[in-house]
Structure 1
């Protein structure tokens, strides 16, 4: 009887997940030897900011912090400049911990498993690397793998394009959503591929990263967060501050099932954190769904949320928006018409997809699909370079041809003396309305090309080849060509001497640092009889 009573009393006094403590404590410390353990002599770091899902926290003089234990929330550290995190077992930076006290919703891909309600110590390793020429960042979006075959494409086409090149020296990498295409069980394989680059990597959620069996938006990223941590985060470097925001608002039972927007808790985080951000750094906001309306006449990002965010960003002199989702790329400059009232237009770079056109198109000799996007941009990834003066340059890197910046299309042969109605087309992947593009024939005078918003003939030609084929030319065909915002045309003369003529094209950088090289093609003029 005494044993039963003792057992009963023990149950009453033993902490249980059903009655968790309201808060917990931990330490952020300087991990001098990088082993992840706090060893004698490794000091606690004061003034380090964390967020517990509700409040912005700051470590004390001894590096200690106290956080609320909020069910379903994620505790994370905002990395300060001059430090780095150790890599977790999956190769991703170790800067967060989820709180899951009781059983969450039953989800196909698992969500966040139950774990002991506690804080943890966070190790920050002094970053011994010195940068004198600025910060380099790899920017991926929409790997969007739907099978292990696609994971192989991602690894051989995208990751291998970085390995062994100067691009691998980037200080940071970020993926802007649609990491997978609905099959979230592919995350571990994707992470193994990404980790091969050896670059600290952050992930923003996309609409194909949702737990679609969740019944509400609050539970729709549980599996994503189990792999990647907070869906809203901040990360600081000496040259720039990065904020990642989940901007996919899940609306189960509606069509479409999501819309671009931000939650109240995200605005609460921004309102607490942004006043602490130095104004002399570039502030980079990374999201999945673009802030501009991608469909004419339809609100694809909630305008009220956009205006509220833009109001918070208004007084920052250096801001860049990065988005994905569209599987094309373009530059948008926000002004009063979209709710931006800053001193100068607000630049949004809508980044092209790593998977291009969803890993579609004819396979090459290595068995990798063409994947050219509807606007004529080859699949690949972007880079962001932030200069010491906080100016920045962006570049697009086609997969396995990372230095190519322009794709040309021209007829192979024209009749000598024919009416000059045919042209050479230049798809300048990073081009925008003010980009100056010129061409010349042979060693002739350089002349301006005219920007034209129409379909890239390269993609149209591939569409026609698919139409005329009696059998499938690839697993999926390329999408129908769409008007490209970065296409230029120059008329080809037919009054030159018969024979082959070289067409050279060059584009001038709007901002310094764009790696444009002159490129060329040829066409022939031949005599013909009626």
Structure 2
């Protein structure tokens, strides 16, 4: 609060107003976007340029430093709704133009005259004491209009009119380098008629930008600020660009944050209530694969220091096109009272819209860890409690071995009396290191399955089928199977007598209770 107050004082002191923009945040009762005489200003709303944060006064007025190319936004408070823009996305931001055209391939931010007055209409909503439901998308990543059609039919259309979510997030790689696709994919997402917020990914950058400061001009022109916050009754959301553009270097980008982002966080986070869930959304994961330096350690530790005193924090990331839960501790610079949960969300596009097409012409697109493509949901209750779920894009109703929670693999036939060297595998899509997974055969006793670090046999089979095929089975073949972070194995008994035997698997999901799946195998008599 002190930083915000200082910013406001600087602006109202003599001579500074010539360098400032001002405006009003108001309750737009008639929804015409203009403050009419009987529409009051809203006090205490945070407004930011991505670095400075100020609060509106009793009349809803604010003032901020004015600079070309800045994205100005109101942090939507709980109990209010931002109006929809012409594109159907929430219009909680305004873009200051550049003084001259950027010359970027995809247009960047247009040039023009700076606006010295920017108002933000909001609409007061009915207060409902209910859990918050959020759709969480990651990496839709179309590289063509064909891929946008896959996204529309596979992810979005099945949700239209059926979701209870009141907020949606997309965690980056909105497209795959072709930024001209932004309007089309935004229109598909907006058709859900859910307020939707976007994080920038490494494939959302103007790769012809000469430095990191200009790398998200086109993204900001279409989707607004790359670092901002959004408040709901049950949770506060802080969404951050964490891709540092490094033109001419190898790698061409690295995970990290800018100084202006830390200035925003240092000004805003002290005002955030600690009794609700604080959700951070980024693209590049803050954890690092073994042996790889993908995120700047100093930036991660600086962020964690700002979050340390928050008792309820959830971190979303994307980027990997696999799915994993990671719990940060002192080893990664986290020193909070409890480990920090990072959910690395699987991709809408799965393995980049690859694999064999189904009867509807949509690629299978199973990810390299065996997770089917799809989307996640977040449900937030009181006192910072939350529940997560993964929703595969397509499920076969006639296949009990593939459910929304897991997919099983087992051999079809084994020799009766053979050494029990073959097993049933359970890929539990939301599985964590502490997930309890058990199996039983023919209704016998439940036995624990062992967590293993290896590739899902289901995807290995697809790899073999692609290898031995005489022609392409799809436009792009399925990804090479990689060790999964959520795979379990149980040995199949061979001493049960010839015939078919039923296998049941159950997994204790920490948010969705017990999840079940089933399969079978057959024992055959054989002579040497």
> Normalising to structure 1: TM-score of the pair?
0.93
Per-residue CA distance 1:241-273 (angstroms, 9 max, x = gap): 100000000000011100000000000000000
Tell me how far apart the structure 2 counterparts of residues 316 and 36 of structure 1 sit (CA, whole Å).
36
Match of 2:76 in 1: 79
Match of 1:381 in 2: 375
Mapping of residues 139-154 of structure 1, within 5 Å = 139-154=136-151
Quote the offset at 1:216 in angstroms.
Answer: 0.6
Mapping of residues 423-438 of structure 1, within 5 Å = 423-438=423-438
Q: What secondary structure is seen at the aligned counterpart in 2 of 1:518?
A: strand
Tell me how far apart the structure 2 counterparts of residues 264 and 401 of structure 1 sit (CA, whole Å).
45
Tell me how far apart the structure 2 counterparts of residues 456 and 81 of structure 1 sit (CA, whole Å).
43
- Cα contact 2:99–2:113 (8 A) shared by 1: no
Mapping of residues 410-425 of structure 1, within 5 Å = 410-425=410-425
Match of 1:398 in 2: 392
Deviation larger for 471-480 or 118-127: 118-127
Structure 1 residues 515 and 356: CA distance shift in structure 2, 3 A: farther
Mapping of residues 7-156 of structure 1, within 5 Å = 22-118=19-115, 119-128=117-126, 130-132=128-130, 134-156=131-153
Match of 2:452 in 1: 452
Tell me how far apart the structure 2 counterparts of residues 332 and 442 of structure 1 sit (CA, whole Å).
35
Match of 2:188 in 1: 193
Select 1:304's aligned residue among 298, 302, 305.
298
Quote the offset at 1:307 in angstroms.
Answer: 0.5
Quote the offset at 1:159 in angstroms.
Answer: 0.6
Match of 1:235 in 2: 230
Match of 2:507 in 1: 507
Tell me how far apart the structure 1 counterparts of residues 237 and 442 of structure 2 sit (CA, whole Å).
46
Select 2:205's aligned residue among 207, 210, 215.
210
Match of 1:339 in 2: 333
Mapping of residues 479-518 of structure 1, within 5 Å = 479-510=479-510, 513-514=511-512, 516-518=514-516
Quote the offset at 1:162 in angstroms.
Answer: 1.6
Per-residue CA distance 1:385-420 (angstroms, 9 max, x = gap): 111232111111101339611100011111122211
Deviation larger for 83-92 or 34-43: 34-43
Quote the offset at 1:60 in angstroms.
Answer: 1.1
> Normalising to structure 2: TM-score of the pair?
0.93
Quote the offset at 1:86 in angstroms.
Answer: 1.1
Match of 1:276 in 2: 271
Tell me how far apart the structure 1 counterparts of residues 84 and 129 of structure 2 sit (CA, whole Å).
21
- Cα contact 1:340–1:346 (8 A) shared by 2: yes
- Cα contact 1:405–1:516 (8 A) shared by 2: no
Tell me how far apart the structure 2 counterparts of residues 109 and 481 of structure 1 sit (CA, whole Å).
35
Structure 1 residues 215 and 515: CA distance shift in structure 2, 3 A: farther
Q: What secondary structure is seen at the aligned counterpart in 1 of 2:274?
A: coil
Deviation larger for 369-378 or 499-508: 499-508
- Cα contact 1:288–1:323 (8 A) shared by 2: yes
Match of 2:4 in 1: none
Q: What secondary structure is seen at the aligned counterpart in 2 of 1:389?
A: helix
- Cα contact 1:159–1:194 (8 A) shared by 2: yes
Q: Superposition RMSD on alpha carbons, in Å?
A: 1.4
Q: Which ranges of structure 2 fall in alignment gaps of 5 or more residues?
A: 1-16, 397-402
Select 2:259's aligned residue among 259, 264, 278.
264
Tell me how far apart the structure 2 counterparts of residues 356 and 175 of structure 1 sit (CA, whole Å).
14
Per-residue CA distance 1:333-377 (angstroms, 9 max, x = gap): 111111111111111111111100000000000000010000000
Q: What secondary structure is seen at the aligned counterpart in 2 of 1:169?
A: coil
Structure 1 residues 365 and 405: CA distance shift in structure 2, 3 A: same
Quote the offset at 1:82 in angstroms.
Answer: 0.5
Match of 2:361 in 1: 367
Deviation larger for 112-121 or 219-228: 112-121
Match of 1:322 in 2: 316
Quote the offset at 1:65 in angstroms.
Answer: 1.3
Match of 2:399 in 1: none
Quote the offset at 1:448 in angstroms.
Answer: 0.8
Quote the offset at 1:478 in angstroms.
Answer: 1.1
Quote the offset at 1:466 in angstroms.
Answer: 0.4
Match of 2:11 in 1: none
Q: What secondary structure is seen at the aligned counterpart in 1 of 2:383?
A: coil
Per-residue CA distance 1:316-340 (angstroms, 9 max, x = gap): 1111111000000111111111111
Large movers: runs of 4+ above 6 Å: none
Select 2:216's aligned residue among 207, 217, 221.
221
Tell me how far apart the structure 1 counterparts of residues 472 and 514 of structure 2 sit (CA, whole Å).
36
Mapping of residues 469-484 of structure 1, within 5 Å = 469-484=469-484
Q: What secondary structure is seen at the aligned counterpart in 1 of 2:414?
A: strand
Tell me how far apart the structure 1 counterparts of residues 302 and 435 of structure 2 sit (CA, whole Å).
31
- Cα contact 2:24–2:41 (8 A) shared by 1: yes
- Cα contact 1:405–1:515 (8 A) shared by 2: no
Tell me how far apart the structure 1 counterparts of residues 257 and 414 of structure 2 sit (CA, whole Å).
54
Quote the offset at 1:446 in angstroms.
Answer: 1.1
